[in-house]
Structure 1
Amino acid sequence: MSDAPTVLVIGGGATGTGIARASLRGVDVTLVDRGVEIGTSGRSHGLLHSGARYAEADAPGAEECLRENRTLRDIAGACVRETGGLFVRLSDDDPDYFDAKIDACEEIGIETERLDGDAVRAVVPGLSEDVAEAFRVPDGVIYPSRLVAANAADAERHGATVHTDAPVESIERADGAVSTVRVGGDVGATLEPDHVVNATGAWADRIAELAGVEVGMAPSRGVMISVEYDGLDPVLNRCRDPDDGDIVVPHEGEAVLGTTSVPVDDPDEYETADWEVERSVAECAAMLPAVADAPTVRTWWGVRPLYAPDEAGSDRRGISRGFSVIDHADEGVANLHTVVGGKLTTYREMAEATSDRVCERLGVDADCETATERLPGADDPDRLDEFVERYGGSNPTDAGVVDAAVDD
């Protein structure tokens, strides 16, 4: 590892490792991460968004999801699974909202198919008799530990250096730029990068503070409960205004139930409340009754990396899931960018946008190829799971798939 990398990426989740693939453009990249279960990426429900969830409220965000949904199906192979999805309306849910959701999806270009209650129950055995109607969307499932590890492996294959036990301890500035970054853990060195990217998600404020700049995160926690459940093929979304317990994600012999949205001040230290679990299970059981009594496999909380300098919404559900790339030159730090917000589904587009900014600043004119360059191991689940072991192991979201594959 060079003590003077051209680009230092801080944060080893999906976006950070995606940015490290700037090495495909011939850029000297070092990535450091403190090694906490792949942070936000590995503590999600693992949904590959079609964009339908945001279609009527945030059309640009929905379009981002749709584009990247299609891209990941092309480049990520066994890092994703094509399950399809359903938006289901229960008898007491607003039919006008249902109609508006379909109209918004069709306006954006999200493929839909409307089904009456009997037809959708034929598609999903065990679906509640209270389901009045539904429509299909091209949702899917992401295995984030595979996705992150494959991005890291590809970055290293093209010359990057990746450290998964390397917490940033301090950042020094001189002459209007970051001059040094002290990194602990396995690295134990002071680095002198030409450019720094803060891709730490919900922890972005902490790195920004070390550099003497501001970001403005408004993180919120959400619970996920994985239960034993065989035979669920599509993702189930409750077709109503986003609320607690409105999604069920199939994970090969399990179903992940979620989620809640509760503001937190500290993404490392926060309450985990029983009511969140109870409410999420009860609400998901309104769609799929058998999950109410299904044995729990594991329960975990994740923290959303929401960006809101001017916070809005008491539970933060109203904050945009779009992403932003912040140039800190206006704050007197010419070689620092921060990328915040977004979704796991849109990580690659976030990484490309950030890499474009950095490469422009560095005078690198090579095109980004990450939308067409397949990830290594994409067609070989065993190789992907070897990457997972290399970069720190699986995480709560997909432990039932990746750990089972490793054990076999």
Structure 2
Amino acid sequence: MDNRTDVLVVGGGATGTGIARDLALRGVDVTLAERGGLSAGTSGRSHGLLHSGARYAEADEPEARACLEESRTLTEIAGACVRETDGLFVQLSEDDPDYFEAKHEACAEVGIETEVLDGETVRAEIPDLSDDVERAMRVPDGVVFPSRLVAANAADAREHGAEILTHAPVTDMRREDGRIAEVELGGEVDGTIEPTYVVNAAGPYASSIAETVGATVELRPTRGVMVSVDYDRLEPVLNRCRDPNDGDIVVPHDDEVVLGTTSVPVDDPEEYERADWEIERSVEECAKMLPAVADAAHLRTWWGVRPLYEPEEAALGARGISRGFHLLEHGEEGVDNLATIVGGKLTTYRKMAEATADLVCEQLGVDADCETATRRLPGADDPERLDALVAEFDGQGPTDEDVVGR
């Protein structure tokens, strides 16, 4: 292994591999280091919803537009990494009809295509839907399979010269004259990297990575539970049309649906409580939309930790609806060659990666444009190849393990 690299990307989730891919396509020498297998963190432990932007339309118009644009882009470039299902925002009798109207109007402003269906019509489409559903709004939501998506990004980065190191946790970083001079990697690598620039894309671990060189990343990590149950009769994503709360999303897979989720602050992204009440509440609330899931067999349960940016969360309140990303430079803290990317969501990972790659290229004096929005991911038309890449990178997460490798 050559221990010199232009850019070291720390973190092998969607954002990290997306950054590595973007930079490699621009001709930058990139090394990516992931503490476990790829997508071992937040990306591979999500509910797998490909957002149309409707969830954010009335609360954060710019983020809704970003979701809409990026979901369309992923549909074009990602092939079998995503699935077009559509989605429904359903209003129950106990839900505020004004919220439904506000979301409908906001979707129109953003440019999200919608169709309003009365309860009788939508139950004809989904017979198991609750009798308590008064109306629903169809939106272009979908499903993303993060293990495949992350592996495909890593593969494309590697095909264009990047080095992808799994099971290579950062154990230390040495700063010299206001710059990171060396990064020590443990695990299967057990070596030292000398980067020109470092990108911290470590998700909920971003704070601890930054702290090794005296930099600060203010995070408010929160955990959320996902419960996969045996149910094969749902095509569209179901979203509860109300202020965000526990148990308001049902995501369809082939023979299962994923119910979620909760939002509980945690101090440590690795050691945290996994509470039974979260499972029970998520199932109970999702069953208000789709009663059959209340008695369906539980197949898998997992938690993920979101790397939310503390200043934004404090401004939004206890459970903010925005999921914008934040790109932080650390020059004022005495680390000129370090940037951290936090926040965001799986749907907008490519946009996050593009913004980060733009910054890095500016710092390195590289004049090259982003190509990731139009270049199709490798294996996009070949699920078997994608699943082989997932296995090669040890990238299987719980979100899509029922689909990958079938």
Match of 2:296 in 1: 294
Distance 1:209 1:319, change over 3 A: farther
Q: Offset of 1:393 from its aligned partner?
A: 3.8
State yes or no: 1:3 paired with 2:3: yes
What is the TM-score of this pair, normalised by structure 1?
0.97
What amino acid sits opposite 1:60 in the alignment?
Answer: P
Query: In the alignment, is the contact (CA less than 8 A) between 2:313 and 2:320 conserved in 1?
Result: no
Aligned counterparts, 1:342-361, within 5 A: 342-361=344-363
**Which one of 182, 185, 190 corresponds to residue 183 of structure 1?**
185
Separation in structure 2 between the aligned mates of residue 263 and residue 313 of structure 1, nearest angstrom: 16
1:171 aligns to 2:140 (yes or no): no
Cα deviation for residue 305 of structure 1 reads 1.0
CA contact 1:261–1:315 (8 Å) conserved in 2: no
The separation in 2 between residues aligned to 1:323 and 1:393, in whole angstroms, is 24
Q: Secondary structure at the match of 1:149?
A: helix
Q: What residue identity is the alignment partner of 1:248? A: V
Counterpart of 1:309, as a letter, is P
In structure 1, the gaps of 5 or more residues are: none
User: Which letter maps to 1:233?
Assistant: E
Distance 2:194 2:278 in 1: 44
Q: 1:156 to 1:179 in 2, by over 3 A?
A: same
Matched, 1:31 2:32: yes
Name 1:400's counterpart in structure 2: 402
Q: Distance in 1 between matches of 2:368 and 2:196?
A: 18
How far residue 313 of structure 1 moved from its aligned partner, in angstroms, is 7.4
Runs of 5+ consecutive residues of structure 2 not aligned to the other structure: none
Structure 2 residue matching 1:217: 3-state secondary structure: coil
Alignment of 1:237-252 (within 5 A): 237-252=239-254
Distance, in Å, in 2 between the alignment partners of 1:314 and 1:57 is 10
Matches within 5 A, 1:381-396: 381-396=383-398
Partner-residue secondary structure (3-state), 2:271: coil
Counterpart in 1 of 2:83? Answer: 81
Partner SS, residue 193 of structure 1 = strand
- Structure 1 residues 9-408: aligned runs within 5 Å: 9-21=9-21, 22-35=23-36, 38-309=40-311, 311-312=313-314, 316-318=318-320, 320-403=322-405, 405=406
1:208 shift after superposition: 0.5
> C-alpha separation between the residues in 1 aligned to 2:54 and 2:213?
38
CA distance in 2, matches of 1:292, 1:122: 21
Question: Partner amino acid for 1:159?
Answer: G
CA-to-aligned-CA distance 1:371-396 (integer Å, 9 cap, x gap)? 00100000000000011001104111
* Kept in 2: contact 1:75–1:372 (CA 8 A): yes
Question: Against the structure 1 CA distance between its residues 288 and 319, is the aligned structure 2 distance closer, same or farther, given a 3 Å change threshold?
Answer: closer
Shift, 1:186, TM fit: 1.6
Distance in 1 (CA, whole Å) between partners of 2:317 and 2:402 is 30
Residue identity opposite 1:181 in structure 2: V
- Do the aligned partners of residues 316 and 377 (structure 1) sit closer, same or farther apart at CA in structure 2, a change above 3 Å counting? farther
Deviation, structure 1 residue 190: 1.1
Q: Report the count of equivalent residues.
A: 404
- In 2 relative to 1, CA 319–212 (structure 1 residues): closer, same or farther, beyond 3 Å? farther
Q: 1:319 offset after TM fit, Å?
A: 6.2
SS of equivalent residue, structure 1 residue 265:
coil
**RMSD (Å) for aligned C-alpha atoms:** 1.2
> SS at the partner of 1:312?
helix
Helix, strand or coil for the counterpart of 1:6? strand
Q: 1:316 to 1:14 in 2, by over 3 A?
A: farther
Q: Secondary structure at the match of 1:133?
A: strand
Contact 1:85 1:140 in 2 (8 A): yes
